[in-house]
Structure 1
Amino acid sequence: MKAKLLTILLCVTFVTFSQENEDNIQTHELRLDGLKLLAGPIAEASYEFVKNENSGYGVSIFVNLGSDSPVWVENFSITPFYRYYFFNKEDYGAKGFFVEGFGKLSFGDNSYENINYNNDRDEENFTDLSLGMALGQKWVNKNGFVFELLLGVSRTLGTNSAGPEAYLRGGLSVGYRF
């Protein structure tokens, strides 16, 4: 009887101690694009939710804070995205090489010279919707700090003549995962 009780007690303790401890999984991430901040008074911030070790989705907000550059005709855009991560060997890593599909809703104004050649510049407002793809690389350290490199392109849907036909999406972002 004592042997059976001792065997049951040992089995219960082994089963109890064999349970894994759950790690604190960090699934939220905020990033700020440093390249656009250096290029002009332009801010782009991103939020990403890490769904699992291979995918995540989120949204980026782009705000032109006063740049009159012909390169940045957008004043504001919102970009929802979905990412699939490749070559990831850690649970809930969501880091490394990724492919991104995104949609972009942009608002802006485009100025151009008048056809009369009288040095007048006309300005036309636009609203565009575009779809595109991007490639990138993300590094995350043990403390949750994130560095990301991203480059992609999207094609405008519709026939708005004031806005660009395509958009480039890119940046060097720094952020934190929590």
Structure 2
Amino acid sequence: MKRITLLFALLAAGCVTANAQVDSVYVVNNGSTTAHNDLIAKKHELKFGAIKALSGGIVEVTYERIYSESFTYGLSMLGNLDGNNNDYPEDFSVTPFARMYFSEPKYYGAKGFFVEGSAKFITGRDYNGYTEEYVYEDGNGNTYYNYYDKRVSYTAGSLGLAIGWKWINKAGFVFEILGGAGRNFGGSNAPEANFRGDFNLGYRF
């Protein structure tokens, strides 16, 4: 978890310093600006979370439907393929979401700054303050006690908010930064909150 947080912080710091720029995916005809027709017609995006994948075998795939220039909705699915060797508290999650985009001019829409609302269903394991004792004896009759943090399974629901920024080039390739959090409920062993975010790479089609 520490590796994921550190990578996200370092990359986010680099991107925040960059100036927002308008994608050069439009043409000028007789002084008027029009968007590329093929990009306007593309209404679907498929993306994956790069930071999670690089940090510990965590795969998150997101589908986003472009409903209008300002509004989209979609679904993210996460699977922790190496949960026994990393500290990420989610083993599996499903996150439906909706987004409002605010950048102007829009050209082909659904890019730039956005605000996201989401719900989430989670199953996972978290330390949550639990410890377990291990007792053993050596060949001389000496008794030893070891204590270690114990991960406890949980299932929970969550409601959350996030903000982000999306870039898209004229070929349809997408890069976005997403960061937010949600409040967990309904699970006795669940952590109080969960993290939602990544550097997502994908394609609009």
Q: TM-score range by the shorter chain?
A: 0.7 to 0.9
- Three-state SS of the structure 2 residue aligned to 1:39 is helix
- Greater C-alpha radius of gyration: 1
Who is 1:165 aligned against? 192
- Three-state SS of the structure 2 residue aligned to 1:78 is strand
Alignment of 1:114-133 (within 5 A): 114=132, 118-119=146-147, 122-133=150-161
Aligned residues: 156
Who is 1:17 aligned against? none
TM-score for both structures, normalised by structure 1: 0.80
Q: What is the aligned counterpart of 1:28 among 33, 44, 56?
A: 44
- Three-state SS of the structure 2 residue aligned to 1:137 is strand
The one-letter amino acid of 2:116's match is E
In the TM superposition, residue 162 of structure 1 has moved relative to its aligned partner by 1.4
- Three-state SS of the structure 2 residue aligned to 1:154 is strand
- Structure 1 residue runs of 5 or longer lacking an equivalent are 1-21
TM-score for both structures, normalised by structure 2: 0.70
Q: Distance in 2 between matches of 1:123 and 1:109?
A: 6
Is residue 2:179 matched to residue 1:151?
yes
Q: Distance in 1 between matches of 2:163 and 2:148?
A: 40
Q: What is the aligned counterpart of 1:57 among 73, 81, 88?
A: 73
In the TM superposition, residue 23 of structure 1 has moved relative to its aligned partner by 2.7
The one-letter amino acid of 2:126's match is N
RMSD: 2.2
Who is 2:7 aligned against? none
The one-letter amino acid of 2:117's match is G
In the TM superposition, residue 76 of structure 1 has moved relative to its aligned partner by 0.3
Alignment of 1:92-131 (within 5 A): 92-111=108-127, 112-114=130-132, 118-119=146-147, 122-131=150-159
- Three-state SS of the structure 1 residue aligned to 2:37 is coil
- Three-state SS of the structure 2 residue aligned to 1:37 is helix
Between the two proteins, what is the percent identity of the paired residues?
45
Deviations 1:46-81 (A, max 9, x none): 0000000001000000100013323x1211000000
Q: Distance in 2 between matches of 1:132 and 1:120?
A: 32
Q: Distance in 1 between matches of 2:183 and 2:124?
A: 16
Who is 1:83 aligned against? 99
Q: Distance in 2 between matches of 1:120 and 1:83?
A: 42
CA contact (8 A) 2:165 2:176 kept: yes
